[in-house]
Amino acid sequence: MQENNNTPIILALESSCDDTACAILRGDEVLANLQASQSIHERFGGVVPELASREHMKHIYPLVSEALQVASVKKEELSAIACTRGPGLIGSLIVGVNFAKALALGMSIPLIEVNHMQAHVAAHYIENKPPFPFICLTVSGGHTQLVLVRERLNMELIGETLDDAAGEAFDKAAKLFGLPYPGGPQLDRLAQRGTAKFPFAKPKVDGLNFSFSGLKTSILYFVQKQEKGFIEENLTDLCASVQNVVVEVLIEKLTLAAESYGINHIAIAGGVSANSELRTRIQELGTQKGWNTYIPQFQYCTDNAAMIGIVGYYKYLSLDFADLSLAPIAKWSI
């Protein structure tokens, strides 16, 4: 975009789960996009909410300072502070929202609330900018959503999971196979060397909704019936088989959505959109079906603050500000 002195500079904070993230955007240009991960949860095999909040408190101030340095921006130059209001872990959200409120109050600049799930979709406005309307499959550790995006921030939920999210299915399967948390990325890497030869049943739900909780149980029963050492000997094939079922379900529902709504601009978003098999299959299907497909860069798939910043930027342009009574919300529809 054309830069001038009036282009807003937004500082964005994301703290909905276990990563503290801070980004600085000038207009829609990302000047800094930093993250502090929390390895403390690995030994528990999942995110421990209380520990996550404490880690956010440790990381947030140094991360904001570093982001200002990386972006070469002085805090006096900031136009507004955007933060994730929800959905997410309430303790984690409280840290980010309160830090954002204090900074906005201290600098006498506006505060902007951002819905984390909207932001995953909006990550596309940083680079690809799909035309409206488009359909986005948002797949993360906590959500699996089919979203009809009518206009930039006008989004309608047209399908979602009835139980576990796709990322959760990957993480739970990975845990069963003895892989460290979060297992999704490792399962993906191992699957690349395996063959999808184990016939895990595809969960069946009508319409545009999903269900993944039965898959975990069927994997568990399957491995329990095998000889000792089976998992170690067949790890890559097991990973490939799980990945194949999850990706097949996602692709089927996405195709149904595209056909039902007659839309051929198709995007994916969220942590699971980093999955190599999903990315390849969406591209192949796009070519077959004549879709225009939009796949985010890896840094904008998993949780990041640049996606919060881009929503912040567009809300800033429409003067959509929050007041200082803003409270985080754990459950918040798109």
Closest CA to 302 of 178, 185, 130, 206: 185
When asked if residue 14 is in the footprint of Zn ion (CB under 5 A), the reply is no
Q: Do 14 and 304 contact (CB within 8 A), yes or no? A: yes
When asked if residue 328 is in the footprint of ligand KG4 (CB under 6 A), the reply is no
Residues 6+ apart with CB under 8 A from 214: 201, 203
Strands of the 134-139 sheet, one edge to the other = 154-160, 144-151, 134-139, 265-269, 292-294
Distance in Å, CB of 251 to ligand KG4, minimum:
14
Footprint of ligand KG4 on residues 162-181 (CB under 6 A)? 167, 170-171
Among residues 140, 234, 241, 244, which is the contact residue for Zn ion, using CB under 5 A? 140
Of the chain, the end-to-end C-alpha distance in Å amounts to: 27
CA angle centred on 186, ends 180 and 188, rounded to 5°: 150
When asked if residue 38 is in the footprint of Zn ion (CB under 5 A), the reply is no
Q: Do 307 and 123 contact (CB within 8 A), yes or no? A: yes
Percent helix / strand / coil, the chain, rounded to 5: 45, 20, 35
When asked if residue 303 is in the footprint of Zn ion (CB under 5 A), the reply is yes
Footprint of ligand KG4 on residues 241-270 (CB under 6 A)? 270
Count of C-beta atoms within a 10 Å radius of residue 255: 15
Contact segment (CB under 5 A) with Zn ion among 75-83, 121-129, 222-230, 295-303 equals 295-303
Residue 164 contact partner, candidates Zn ion, ligand KG4, none, CB within 5 to 8 A by sort of partner: none
Footprint of ligand KG4 on residues 264-303 (CB under 6 A)? 270-272, 274-275, 302-303
Measured from the CB atom, is 10 or 165 closer to Zn ion? 165
Measured from the CB atom, is 159 or 270 closer to Zn ion? 270
When asked if residue 188 is in the footprint of ligand KG4 (CB under 6 A), the reply is yes
Q: Where does this chain bind ligand KG4 (CB under 6 A)? A: 17, 140-142, 167, 170-171, 182, 184-185, 188, 270-272, 274-275, 302-303
Q: Where does this chain bind Zn ion (CB under 5 A)? A: 140, 303
